[in-house]
Structure 1
Amino acid sequence: MSRSEKFIVLPFKKVRGNVTPGEMRVASNAASAEKIARAMADRFVGVAAYSVQVDMESGDMSDPRILWQTGEIADIAA
């Protein structure tokens, strides 16, 4: 089993009163993910940078680990 750590940033917006994820951005490392998330923070109700382990053979992903967050975010693991 070949695992790889991936970094993503998700902005969140309000849709009909519910917090929903927007378009995902990929980052090359944890510091870059946090930098991207901080830059997006003023434009959304919430932003979070995540780390996730991906099994490169099966495509299975572990539950995301939050690296940095601000504002309102939704549980994306649910």
Structure 2
Amino acid sequence: MSDTLECSVVMKVRKATASDLKLDDKTLNYGQPFWLKSMVTGEFMNQPLKIHENTDVDELASWLKNNMIYVPVQWNEKFKEI
């Protein structure tokens, strides 16, 4: 018997804003999960990334500027269908 299970999960995500990624002007929101969307293919990476103490701030800023970062929609947010 295998210990693996195949399942599908649906999650709503939205384009991230700077306030999703930072707690204040100087502090990143450590632990915040996010997904990257390719500018070339339009496809998402197959696994999330998380902001941590070694996150490259310049790279994160570049991804944000290029609308590549998506974060999960929270239960209390209104979500507009695209």
Superposition TM-score tier, normalisation by shorter sequence: under 0.3
Q: Whose radius of gyration is greater, 1 or 2? A: 2
**Greater share of strand:** 1
TM (norm. structure 2) is 0.24
TM (norm. structure 1) is 0.24
